[in-house]
Amino acid sequence: MAGSRLRAATRGSQLARWQASRVATLLEAAHPGLQVELVLVETAGDRRRDVPLWEVGGQGIFVKEVQAAVLDGGADFAVHSAKDLPSTTAPGLALAAVPERGDPRDALVGSTLDGLGVGARVATGSVRRRAQLAWLRPDLTFAGLRGNIGTRLQRAAEHDAVVIAMAALERLGLVDDLAATAGAWEALDPSVLLPQVGQGALAAECRADDGQTRARLAVVEHGPSRRAVDAERAFLARLGGGCDLPVGAYGREGADGELSLEGLIASADGRMVVRRQRTGPVADPAGLGTGLAEELLERGGASVLFSGDATA
């Protein structure tokens, strides 16, 4: 494989480039002689940072142009945050690998949850985060939040707290300085704030008919992470939602060899929350995700999704 090369499409943000470089490093270590070149792509989500995600187009606004670069032959594969991917893989593409997952939790920066005063103002661009925090603390008020991680951290000074993915903070090496730069902060356990589908995980896509690239990418696959993400994506696919709905899910494998999945549907104002957990065989993550979604719909989630209460 001496002298061989792969082109990896990615957004141009600091975090996206870190993520693509991480996959590139894994690939180059697994395939001696391989060189991975980054192809930077601007997306609709990057161009319209002043508009809430659900107004711009919701899930997919950070990946469509990156996927197009692969489909058009401008790159051999793409690296995404798995949480940005629509729940159904785009025609002509294959989800070739999910490397080992990072921290799936959300972080509250600027305060701890218990430290927030009555009526405190929390900034987040996620309806999922807002709905769950409103469920936990109906007294809280909320503001929108967009921009790169540095911009979001700067905005913490304008509010009582902001919510940011822990994986992003860790990947950019910002965790150790949080106490000094933002004061109090807290990583929120999934039992408190259920993550977005795919949060903390990376996803590598290539053309479905590109067998050579698929085989190369397969070596960076992490089985437990892939099965958890597959279950979460099947859950979301059954609900038909994206980041424009207050929906969360988190899967993990236990020591008993079974896959556990917890899912949630909420109203945007946090007044209605339906949350359940179930386990299933690791051999059928999609069945587990679909089954949990059906259970939530039957237990009241359908009334939230289809009554109009789920949207902001």
Contact 279, 301 (CB under 8 A): no
Contact 273, 132 (CB under 8 A): yes
Instruction: Count Cβ atoms within 10 A of the Cβ of residue 284 and give its class: 0-12 exposed, 13-18 middle, 19 or more buried.
Output: middle
Structure tokens at 119: 């009526």
Alpha carbons 86 and 49: distance in angstroms, whole number: 19
Alpha carbons 204 and 124: distance in angstroms, whole number: 27
The pLDDT of residue 243 is 53
pLDDT digits (tens, 9 = 90+) for 208-245: 999 999 999 999 999 999 999 999 999 999 998 655 67
* Residue 131 pLDDT greater than 90, yes or no: yes
| The amino acid at 36 | V
Alpha carbons 237 and 171: distance in angstroms, whole number: 28
The pLDDT of residue 155 is 79
The distance between the two most distant Cα atoms of the chain, rounded to a whole number of Å, is: 62
CATH number of 106-188: 3.40.190.10
**Residue 143 pLDDT level (bands cut at 50, 70, 90):** very high
CATH class for domain 5-101+201-221? alpha beta
* Residue 142 pLDDT greater than 60, yes or no: yes
* Residue 187 pLDDT greater than 90, yes or no: yes
Alpha carbons 126 and 54: distance in angstroms, whole number: 9
Please tell me the pTM assigned to this model: 0.91
Write down the catalytic residue from 46, 50, 76, 84: 84
Q: Please state, rounded to an integer, the average pLDDT across all residues of the chain.
A: 90
* Pick from 84-93, 123-132, 162-171, 179-188: least confident: 179-188
Domain 232-306 has CATH 3.30.160.40: yes
Instruction: Count Cβ atoms within 10 A of the Cβ of residue 146 and give its class: 0-12 exposed, 13-18 middle, 19 or more buried.
Output: middle
The pLDDT of residue 1 is 47
Collect all residues with Cβ–Cβ distance below 8 Å to 224 and sequence separation of at least 6: 252, 253
User: Is 84 in the active site?
Assistant: yes
Backbone angles phi, psi at 261, to 5 degrees: -135, 130
Alpha carbons 105 and 196: distance in angstroms, whole number: 9
The pLDDT of residue 255 is 82
pLDDT digits (tens, 9 = 90+) for 24-62: 999 999 999 999 999 999 876 665 555 555 455 555 677
**Residue 311 pLDDT level (bands cut at 50, 70, 90):** very low
Sign of the alpha-carbon dihedral angle for 301, 265, 146, 12:
negative
* Residue 182 pLDDT greater than 80, yes or no: no
Instruction: Enumerate the domain spans of the chain.
Output: 5-101+201-221, 106-188, 232-306
* Residue 257 pLDDT greater than 80, yes or no: yes
**Beta-strand relationship, 106-109 and 247-253:** unpaired
Q: What share of the chain is helix, strand, coil (3-state, %, to 5)?
A: 40, 25, 40
**Residue 2 pLDDT level (bands cut at 50, 70, 90):** very low
DSSP 82: G
| Percent of the chain scoring above 90 in pLDDT | 76
**H or E element that contains 107:** strand 106-109
Please give the order of strands across the beta sheet that includes 77-81. Answer: 35-41, 5-11, 77-81, 202-207, 93-97
More confident residue, 172 or 51: 172
Q: How does DSSP assign 235-252, residue by residue?
A: HHHHHT--TTS-EEEEEE
Alpha carbons 222 and 195: distance in angstroms, whole number: 20
More confident residue, 147 or 270: 270
* Pick from 60-74, 76-90, 215-229, 298-312: least confident: 298-312
Alpha carbons 207 and 71: distance in angstroms, whole number: 6
**Residue 284 pLDDT level (bands cut at 50, 70, 90):** very high
* Residue 9 pLDDT greater than 50, yes or no: yes
The pLDDT of residue 45 is 63
The pLDDT of residue 50 is 53
For helices 223-239 and 285-296, give the axis angle rounded to 10 degrees.
40
Please give the order of strands across the beta sheet that includes 121-123. Answer: 141-143, 121-123, 161-165, 106-109, 185-188
* Residue 189 pLDDT greater than 80, yes or no: yes
The pLDDT of residue 107 is 96
More confident residue, 37 or 310: 37
